[in-house]
Amino acid sequence: MAGEEEEQGNEQNKYAKFKKVDGSTYEKVNQFLRKHTYITAREWAIARLCSDFQTRSGSEMTYIGAHLPEMVPFMTGTYTPQAVNQARSAFKKKVKKSGATFFYGAMCGFFTAEQLDDILFEASEVSRFLLEVEGTTLSVDQEIDIEDRITAVMKRVAETSARMKKARDEGREGKDA
């Protein structure tokens, strides 16, 4: 039991990372996030905690909720495990919807390749800033791997979009004949 408490204490200490926003209110952090993302301060903090306090059977919902104000300076109250789960779920849903919206815009040809590149660059800058505020660092190799995976997905999106457009155009030509 003592080893488990010590391990949790060590895990909690790594949340000195959120000290970069110490002194900021929830409202200020939330306002920044709402300006640059679709997530709230609550969803951001809890998603980060759920990621870092992952266990074989899920996340430490009870521990996260009970220690939220100690680990995240702008959070003022504790949360029930259900509230932690709800915030984590809201985060996942928003990420999925944002991704679907982005890829639809890319696939339907609404954006040029240059515009998509600009969107991805801006998104990566906001993401890097959030990681910096958290105190999270990625190695150069990790960052390159992530960028390579995104590039591969975007290439498939462009190829699929071009095939769909070609098939659509060929279908129109067949009808005109």
Q: What pTM, to 2 d.p., does this model score?
A: 0.74
Q: Is residue 146 part of a domain?
A: no
Q: Is residue 30 part of a domain?
A: yes
Instruction: Give the structural domain span for 45.
Output: 2-137
Euclidean distance between CA atoms 143 and 38, whole angstroms:
23
Q: What is the DSSP string of 122-157?
A: HHHHHHHHHHHHHT----HHHHHHHHHHHHHHHHHH
Q: Could you give the 3-state DSSP secondary structure of residue 58?
A: strand
Q: Is residue 112 part of a domain?
A: yes
| pLDDT score at 135 | 80
Q: Is residue 161 part of a domain?
A: no
pLDDT tens, residue order, the chain (177 aa)? 444 444 554 544 556 667 777 777 889 989 999 999 999 999 999 999 998 888 887 768 899 999 999 888 889 899 999 999 999 999 999 999 999 998 888 878 888 878 988 998 899 889 888 888 888 888 889 888 888 888 888 888 878 878 888 888 888 777 765
Residue spans of beta strands (DSSP E) within 37-79:
54-55, 58-59
Provide the domain count of the chain: 1
Q: Is residue 159 part of a domain?
A: no
Residue 4 corresponds to which tokens in the numbers above? 């488990």
Burial of 91 by CB count in 10 Å (0-12 exposed, 13-18 middle, 19+ buried)? buried
| pLDDT score at 177 | 58
Q: Is residue 155 part of a domain?
A: no
Q: Is residue 142 part of a domain?
A: no
Q: Is residue 154 part of a domain?
A: no
Euclidean distance between CA atoms 123 and 99, whole angstroms:
12
| pLDDT score at 10 | 52
